[in-house]
Structure 1
Amino acid sequence: MDLEFLQSMDVQILVGVGVAVLAILVAAAYLFSSWKPKGCLDPENFRGFKLVKRQQLSHNVAKFTFELPTPTSVLGLPIGQHISCRGKDSQGEEVIKPYTPTTLDSDVGHFELVIKMYPQGRMSHHFRELRVGDYLAVKGPKGRFRYQPGQVRAFGMIAGGSGITPMFQVARAILENPKDMTNVRLIYANVTYEDILLKEELDSLVAKYPGRFKVYYVLNQVCCLSHVAIS
């Protein structure tokens, strides 16, 4: 076996090793890009999440921030779906009600609920009593609707009062996805200007995505109907 043959064998081995390494790197990159962290929700059992911040937005509306197990954890809620929250009413009886977080899985480590608390609301009582450090029992995801990016050219929404939260979630998901060019139009009705939830956040989306997102605020005051359009 001469020297020239040995050198050619070495080259072939090196090329083979290089191709194998390249294949491994490509496969690893694909797996990493397609990998999604496991969500914290359980569709069958309630799990407790710690309240770490409570911000009063108005006399009957508050934003509740709940901590996930780690700073990189995600809730794991598909766009357009909701969670079930369990608590106790003023009589100590168990009550379960659906809510939609205003955060997405891109907001890692926590999730937020914007809650309007009604005087006679059974679950409203539970949220009024929640203090930082308490735990909220949550189960999910729930719901049949799942938004698919790019399925329509324009997405129309109509919401009233606290019903804005699922619309806000979907609007954020559409607008913040660089691959989704869907336009969003939202009609949002309330009794008074002070009743408008997430107005600052909605106006911020309008400013950040001009032309793609428009909100039409409708107010009902003393039998008079007025509206303000944001373009």
Structure 2
Amino acid sequence: MESLQSHRVEMISIAVALVAIGAGTAFYFYITKKPKGCLDPENFKEYKLVKRTELSHNVAKFKFALPTPDSVLGLPIGQHMSCRGKDSVGEEVVKPYTPTTLDSDIGYFELVIKMYPQGRMSHHFREMREGDYLAVKGPKGRFKYQPNQVRAFGMIAGGTGITPMFQVTRAILENPDDKTNIHLIYANVTYEDILLKEEIDNLAIIFPNQFNVYYVLNQVLFVSFSFQLLILSLTISQFFTSYLFKSRLFLDSKLFIEKLAFLLSSLS
């Protein structure tokens, strides 16, 4: 009898162990198997606009649903996709855009769009309403980001050019294993033109030792543009000293700053 009970306990232990192994294996494959992305590099696919949020008089955030709640877009970090629409005279237009969302945002993707008066694709987005569809294909681009591939990124963005920078920044900061530092210089004409400011500021608050952002405006009360360039020059010089020169990479920082000043002044 005692032998039978011992045998029964042994069998139960083996069964429990097998169940545990099976569950662990299933969980491993669940967390390691990356879902297939929805994007097609050759063919346009249509995605439904489920929410449109007006951020200013000419900027809106568009949220598009993916085929299922568990779907991911499948856009590599730092790359973009082609969006197709029609301009004011009905002619087809295709333009690249970078979502502000990542593949960790499951079931949807978002675009933050600034709509210019004469922009051909801007017309298409301006006319879009919830329930409409947007044709998209991709991914596009040669940039391939790998965590910790560099010690620090120095980013310079102007206007709507912030979206790819924001995407890369989010990917770095939301990955606890990525220790890359980020220094972002973001230039705009006015304070109201700053896109994603709340989101950027939140990241700077949450990751103060890893992410620094510097805003530069062409039109601002009480602070001259030349004074901003002076502060910006000091910031860039500090970045070069901290990272580039230590890597024995020689750059003419004075010439770089002069070119940057010319670029920023062209925003006016």
TM-score range, shorter chain: 0.7 to 0.9
Number of the residue aligned with 2:225: 224
Deviation of 1:8 after TM superposition, in Å, equals 11
Stretch moving more, 29-38 or 109-118: 29-38
**Tell me, what secondary structure is at the counterpart of 1:221?**
coil
Structure with higher strand content = 1
* One-letter identity of the residue aligned with 1:204: N
| TM-aligned CA distance change 1:132 to 1:22, over 3 Å | closer
* One-letter identity of the residue aligned with 1:70: T
Number of the residue aligned with 1:157: 155
Distance 1:108 1:15 in 2: 39
Check conservation: 1:218, 1:225, Cα contact below 8 A: no
Number of the residue aligned with 1:192: 190
Deviation of 1:110 after TM superposition, in Å, equals 1.0
Residues 54-85 of structure 1: per-residue CA shift (max 9 Å, x gap): 11111111111111112221111110111100
| TM-aligned CA distance change 1:54 to 1:16, over 3 Å | closer
* One-letter identity of the residue aligned with 2:118: Q
* One-letter identity of the residue aligned with 1:224: F
Residues 16-74 of structure 1: per-residue CA shift (max 9 Å, x gap): 87876666555434322211111111111101111111111111111111111122211
**Tell me, what secondary structure is at the counterpart of 1:159?**
strand
Deviation of 1:178 after TM superposition, in Å, equals 0.9
Stretch moving more, 29-38 or 52-61: 29-38
Distance 2:227 2:85 in 1: 38
- Aligned counterpart for 2:70 among listed residues 69, 72, 75: 72
Number of the residue aligned with 2:213: 215
Deviation of 1:184 after TM superposition, in Å, equals 0.7
Residues 134-177 of structure 1: per-residue CA shift (max 9 Å, x gap): 00000011111111001111111110000000000000000000
Deviation of 1:199 after TM superposition, in Å, equals 0.5
| TM-aligned CA distance change 1:12 to 1:71, over 3 Å | closer
Distance 2:145 2:96 in 1: 18
- Aligned counterpart for 2:179 among listed residues 160, 178, 181: 181
* One-letter identity of the residue aligned with 1:94: E
Distance 2:195 2:93 in 1: 24
| TM-aligned CA distance change 1:42 to 1:226, over 3 Å | farther
Number of the residue aligned with 1:43: 41
Distance 1:88 1:161 in 2: 23
Structure with higher helix content = 2
Deviation of 1:226 after TM superposition, in Å, equals 4.9
Number of the residue aligned with 2:134: 136
| TM-aligned CA distance change 1:203 to 1:124, over 3 Å | same
Q: CA RMSD in A?
A: 2.5
**Tell me, what secondary structure is at the counterpart of 1:197?**
coil
Check conservation: 1:219, 1:226, Cα contact below 8 A: no
- Structure 2 stretches lacking a partner, 5+ long: 233-268
Distance 2:144 2:137 in 1: 18
Residues 112-144 of structure 1: per-residue CA shift (max 9 Å, x gap): 100011111110011111011100000011111
| TM-aligned CA distance change 1:13 to 1:119, over 3 Å | same
Number of the residue aligned with 1:82: 80
* One-letter identity of the residue aligned with 2:208: P
Deviation of 1:9 after TM superposition, in Å, equals 10
Stretch moving more, 9-18 or 65-74: 9-18
**Tell me, what secondary structure is at the counterpart of 2:31?**
helix
